[in-house]
Structure 1
Amino acid sequence: MRLKLLLRPAWLMLALVVVAFAASCFTLLAPWQFRRDAEREATNNAIRASYDAAPAPLGSAPPGEWRRVTLTGTYLPEAEAVARLRTVQGTAAFEILTPFKLPDGGIVLVDRGYVRPAEGVRIPQYATAPTGQVNLLARVRAGENTERQAFNEDGHRQVYAVDPDVVAKAAGITIRPGYLQLEEGAPGVLGALPLPELDSGPFFAYALQWIIFGSMALFGLGYFSWREIRPGGSLTEERPRRRTVAEILAEDDARERAASA
């Protein structure tokens, strides 16, 4: 039967590679991009909901990132830190992180916004946090995580991420999880950080591409398999028998004797 022609080791190896690639497209790569698309959509929905929702006092606001909250307290500038290696709208920036003490004694981390580097790399002069009790309007954010600890340089305590635990350890205080990103016009705000763009991103298109790639691989395997086993296909053509080493040596010996005769 012609189907037996597809049982050659080389063809079986090719089929195995193609099937494995297609399975990866359908079960790993495409679902991974679908999950990323769902995460982006969830973030976009949270931001859209915060646009219309009225600010709520901190502690009574519904859970969720990007919620707008109001809070009252005093800045702790002595515990301030500068987050380095940041980018805002595609340009290098530093973010100023100042702990904020609430009336109940709890402390939260407030991201006062960004400043652009001076001389390309140095932390510039920036406005200090106001003194006394102030009322803030901010958005709830999830804290970042890093294993790199704070260090002092150029007269500033510096960190590599907006990580409340790192800032708290460096300042010798206790800070609640998460942080608050100041809104434009809030007391102490510097360059207000922009909200993320609400585009859906390329993830859904990438997921469809992986599905198409997997389908094309299986279609190609099926097409070339049919082309090889159909009547007249390359696998059904007569192939010359390979000569053995003994036959080749015998022919060479015969030619040498004929030439010397």
Structure 2
Amino acid sequence: MNETGTANHGTNGTRGKTARPPLWLTVLALAAFAALIALGVWQIERRTWKLALIDRVEQRVHATAQPIPSPAAWPAVSTANDEYRHVTVTGRFLHDRETLVQAVTEEGAGYWVLTPLRRDDGTLVLINRGFVPSERRDASTRQDSNPQGQVDITGLLRMTEPKGGFLRTNDPVHDRWYSRDVAAIAAARGLHGVAPFFIDADAAPRTGSGPIGGLTVISFPNNHLIYALTWFALAFMLAGKLFVTFGGGLFRRRRFVHEPAGGSDATARRTGSDAGTIEPT
């Protein structure tokens, strides 16, 4: 009788306790919650920055064209302050030094035609004159579209694209170009005094079989709000799990357990004036 009563008492005592996870797991869960909230806040901040960037670029693109920065200012030219500025430059094309860079545009697959423009002060600026399809790769098929003498070019200032494209590295030795890497192109063509940027020429009436300008793609993906909501949702899901684990016992229904005076090992459920201890269900 005593053995049975003792066993029952131990079972009830165990059942009355709330299981708690290890301390290290609790700390890890709280750290994860804080990290998720921080990621959500960071994405909100990124979204604010991206919207400001888009607005700034839109203003630059549609502004009246201004002369390109002077050579003295070239070292300070940066993506944040200058990219996509609407600029103008005057000079003479060096058509014999042009470079073709592989491209895929709304016109199809083909090449960008980058041609050095020599200014009166002797400095050079690479001009992306526009797109030509693969069948127009050979310069001899475009001779009728190469302007001679002094020309005025307007377009968007673009920053150099070093090394190459996605999973493709520029190969100057074999004259294979996948990005508009100004320094590498200048070195391969023996050019000196070249601006550290290039210019995407505006659209202009086509002459003969010449390049198609004005195909600059200006796109800034802005999914930061979706990312922020995802991080916050994960944080609140984790918070709900923590609440169930640590706070659920506060709302559990209580039960009364009577321990008869005849023996501390025997338990019985009763109500009334002789009700006993309280245990959570």
TM-score (norm 1): 0.69
2:142 aligns with 127
Cα separation, partners in 2 of 1:42 and 1:95, compared to 1, 3 Å: farther
Cα separation, partners in 2 of 1:31 and 1:227, compared to 1, 3 Å: closer
Contact 2:204 2:213 in 1 (8 A): no
Q: How far 1:137 sits from its partner (Å)?
A: 0.8
The Cα offsets for residues 137-168 of structure 1, whole Å up to 9 and x where unpaired, read as 11111111217444365xxx331211111111
Q: How far 1:179 sits from its partner (Å)?
A: 1.1
* CA distance in 2 between partners of 1:219 and 1:89 (Å): 49
Identity percentage of aligned residues: 25
Tell me the number of residue pairs that the alignment of Structure 1 and Structure 2 aligns.
Answer: 221
1:176 aligns with 195
1:25 aligns with 36
Contact 2:202 2:214 in 1 (8 A): yes
Contact 2:132 2:211 in 1 (8 A): no
Which structure has the bigger radius of gyration? 2
The Cα offsets for residues 19-66 of structure 1, whole Å up to 9 and x where unpaired, read as 333222222x33553454345324322332135421112237995221
* CA distance in 1 between partners of 2:119 and 2:17 (Å): 78
Stretches of structure 1 that go unaligned for 5 or more consecutive residues are 234-261
1:54 aligns with 64
**What letter matches 1:166 in structure 2?**
A
Contact 2:200 2:216 in 1 (8 A): no
**What letter matches 1:180 in structure 2?**
I
Stretches of structure 2 that go unaligned for 5 or more consecutive residues are 1-15, 255-281
Cα separation, partners in 2 of 1:38 and 1:186, compared to 1, 3 Å: farther
2:163 aligns with 146
Contact 1:137 1:186 in 2 (8 A): no
1:87 matched to 2:104 = yes
RMSD: 3.5
**What letter matches 1:68 in structure 2?**
H
* CA distance in 1 between partners of 2:54 and 2:229 (Å): 21
Cα separation, partners in 2 of 1:14 and 1:229, compared to 1, 3 Å: farther
* CA distance in 2 between partners of 1:225 and 1:115 (Å): 67
**What letter matches 1:170 in structure 2?**
A
Q: How far 1:230 sits from its partner (Å)?
A: 5.4
Contact 2:68 2:88 in 1 (8 A): yes
Of the candidates 214, 227, 233, which is equivalent to residue 192 of structure 1? 214
* CA distance in 2 between partners of 1:25 and 1:91 (Å): 42
TM-score (norm 2): 0.65
The Cα offsets for residues 217-236 of structure 1, whole Å up to 9 and x where unpaired, read as 12221123323675469xxx
Deviates more, 1:38-47 or 1:163-172: 38-47
- Which residues of 2 match residues 29-40 of structure 1 at below 5 A? 29-34=39-44, 36-40=46-50
1:208 aligns with 229
